[in-house]
Amino acid sequence: MANIGHYISGKHYEGKSNLNKPVFNPATGASETKVNLANNDEVNLAVESSKSAWKDWSNQPPLRRARVLDKFKYILDERREELAQCISSEHGKTHEDALGEVTRGLEVVEFAVGAPHLLKGDYTENVGSEVDSFNVRQSLGVVAGITPFNFPAMVPMWMFPIALVCGNCFILKPSERDPSPSLLIAKWLTEAGLPDGVFNVVQGDKIAVDAILNHPDIKSISFVGSTPIARYIYTTGTSAGKRVQALGGAKNHMVIMPDADLDMATNALMGAAYGSAGERCMAVSVAVPVTDKVADALVEKLVPKIEALKIGPSVDPAAEMGPLITSEALNKVSGFIEAGVDEGAKLVVDGRNRKPSMQGYENGFFIGGSLFDNVTKDMSIYKNEIFGPVLSVVRANDYKSAVDLIHGHEYANGVAVFTRDGDVARGFSNEIEVGMVGVNVPIPVPMAFHSFGGWKSSLFGDHHMHGMEGIRFYTRLKTTTVRWPRGQRTDPQFTMPTLG
């Protein structure tokens, strides 16, 4: 079987680097194929291809660019099953979850189809005598996106639909752990009528990323991944003069107030902590019940539900959770569970050594859901992003201690409060120092026309993703001032021009 390759100038390209890595099916634990990795040459080739496509593409009327994305949207919609299967085969998430990912990505394409209206400039007549002024938003040129494994279709779609409708050419460097969805997307964009070179895919790891960071013709980088790499991308990219938005890791808290509907909060926590095996940047990994009474009742309700969680491959329609992405991820998550026990947290449900009931998947990277109680803020399971199905309960005596706890954490991606008290809810969303807030909503992922992004170590840069923030990120403002004098000539003027 051929290795998974790149997509440059409207066609597949094997590459010549001779670098590759195995790609696993996480549900079986077997590697069925390899992905070719780019070096400088492949990245240069992609940049040359995008550079030569940019002039024409950026000069197309915005509506024509939007129409290509509109066609792409219909293709995506028709073939969502195919893309979902492709995602699950390399990522491992359940089929329904993969379909949900495709839908959330498609919504950004829908937003981009309507975006020409957001590219309108402003015009002022008579800013001075016979002088008019207008500003336009122009594309940046060749831009790049570097994406994580956990949403191999949705996260690229947070980026490229908006970059393209704004007139840029886009180079995608997907995660080397699930590289195939990006190639389906590239093929379908070509089928939708996107000119060759406007969207290129280079597969790769650090070598490809560094080539992107160092390439002088790449004007901006959108990154989503873990915090250490996000920080590296931001500092290296901005020192090279690029515009960078780098979204990092998370540790999302959910505060459960004494007046909350506890059944609703419990069900919300189950989906938010264990959905997609906890491999979501918006997963809730810390529950903060306020008062011991709420904590005891919450843990009691959670335990049977966690024990009943069904794990299995994406082909098992009963599965609620798939495997982790790699054996390294499985070892890392198991290691955190061990550390939690060593540090004195109470392991109420231990998900280790659980296997799916379906036969043939015994070697997959599966782990069941785990629950820790009595976790404290100095423990490694609290401080670090585990990125697996492990929920920590940190008990708080009152509302203020819950808020102080959240403010003390390095990450500030998402947060939620469950309460029936409007005062508390409003005060919480106003004062909490976190980028995305849910009130009785456990995973407050903004819709495509709003913007996605955290604060503190969860995002480096000034722009969140998609919505208006996406339009601002992928365009730069130009202001033109015009004089058409009606016969009158002015003398040289050496002072600052003012209206007087």
Closest CA to 5 of 187, 222, 210, 211: 187
Closest distance of CB 112 from ligand NAD, Å: 18
Cβ proximity to ligand NAD: between 95 and 177 the closer is 177
Bridge partners, 478 (sequence order)? 136
Cβ proximity to ligand NAD: between 428 and 452 the closer is 452
Distance between CA atoms of residues 498 and 500, nearest Å? 5
**DSSP labels for 106-153?**
HHHHHHHHTGGGGG--EEEEEEETTEEEEEEEEE-SEEEEE--SS-TT
In degrees, rounded to 5, the angle at the alpha carbon of residue 135 between the alpha carbons of residues 134 and 139 is: 150
Closest distance of CB 236 from ligand NAD, Å: 9
Q: For tokens 């290795």, what's the residue?
A: 3
**Residues 154, 29, 4, 175: is their CA dihedral positive or negative?**
positive
Cβ proximity to ligand NAD: between 279 and 373 the closer is 279
Contact (Cβ atoms closer than 8 angstroms) between residue 23 and residue 31: yes
Closest distance of CB 28 from ligand NAD, Å: 21
Cβ proximity to ligand NAD: between 3 and 226 the closer is 226
Helix (H) or strand (E) holding 214: helix 206-214
Residue of this chain nearest to ligand NAD (CB atom):
225
Cβ proximity to ligand NAD: between 229 and 432 the closer is 229
Closest distance of CB 213 from ligand NAD, Å: 8
Helix (H) or strand (E) holding 431: helix 422-431
Cβ proximity to ligand NAD: between 326 and 401 the closer is 326
Closest CA to 105 of 153, 39, 60: 153
Distance between CA atoms of residues 488 and 11, nearest Å? 58
Catalytic pick among 86, 166, 169, 281: 281
Query: Which residues of the chain form contacts with ligand NAD (CB under 6 A)?
Result: 146-151, 155, 173, 175-176, 205-206, 209, 224-226, 229, 247-250, 281, 385, 387, 413, 454, 458
Distance between CA atoms of residues 308 and 87, nearest Å? 26
Cβ proximity to ligand NAD: between 118 and 250 the closer is 250
Closest distance of CB 244 from ligand NAD, Å: 13
Contact (Cβ atoms closer than 8 angstroms) between residue 300 and residue 454: no
**Residues 115, 458, 421, 419: is their CA dihedral positive or negative?**
positive
Q: Is 281 a catalytic residue?
A: yes
Distance between CA atoms of residues 144 and 138, nearest Å? 17
| Active centre residues (catalytic) | 281
